[in-house]
Structure 1
Amino acid sequence: MSRGALPKAVTGERVRLALVEARPGGLTTKELIAVTELSLYQVRNGIRWIREAAAAQHRTPLTWTRLGGWSFTDDLSAWIDFETHDVRISLSRLRLILTGTALPHQERLPDDQYAALVVQQLNSTIGLLDFLIRNAPQKQTGRGPRTRNLNIAAERGSSPLESSRKE
Structure 2
Amino acid sequence: MRKRSPAAERHADLIRVALFEVAPAGMTLARLMAACELSRWQIRSGIAALRDVSADHGWPPLIWTREMGYRFCGSEEELEEWERIWLSEKLTQFRRMITGTLTPHLALFPKSVWATYLSAQLKAVESNLEMAALARPR
TM-score range, shorter chain: 0.7 to 0.9
Give runs of aligned pairs for residues 55-66 of structure 1, distance below 5 A.
55-59=54-58, 60-66=60-66
Q: Deviations over 1:41-92 (max 9, x none)?
A: 21122112223x1221132211111121111121112211221222122111
Pick the structure with more helix per residue.
2
- Unpaired runs of at least 5, structure 2: 1-5
Distance 1:114 1:10 in 2: 42
In structure 2, what is the equivalent of residue 122 of structure 1? 122
Distance 1:35 1:103 in 2: 46
How large is the RMSD of aligned CA atoms in angstroms?
1.8
In structure 1, what is the equivalent of residue 85 of structure 2? 85
Q: What is the deviation of 1:136?
A: 3.4
In structure 2, what is the equivalent of residue 131 of structure 1? 131
The list of structure 1 runs, each at least 4 consecutive aligned residues, that deviate by more than 2 angstroms after superposition, is: none
Number of residue pairs matched? Answer: 132
- Equivalent residue of 1:110, what SS? coil
- Unpaired runs of at least 5, structure 1: 1-5, 139-167
Change (3 A) 1:46 1:118: same
Give the greater-gyration-radius structure (CA): 1
- Equivalent residue of 2:63, what SS? strand
Give runs of aligned pairs for residues 22-37 of structure 1, distance below 5 A.
22-37=22-37
Distance 2:55 2:19 in 1: 15
| Identical positions, percent | 30
TM-score, normalised relative to structure 1 = 0.72
In structure 2, what is the equivalent of residue 99 of structure 1? 99
TM-score, normalised relative to structure 2 = 0.86
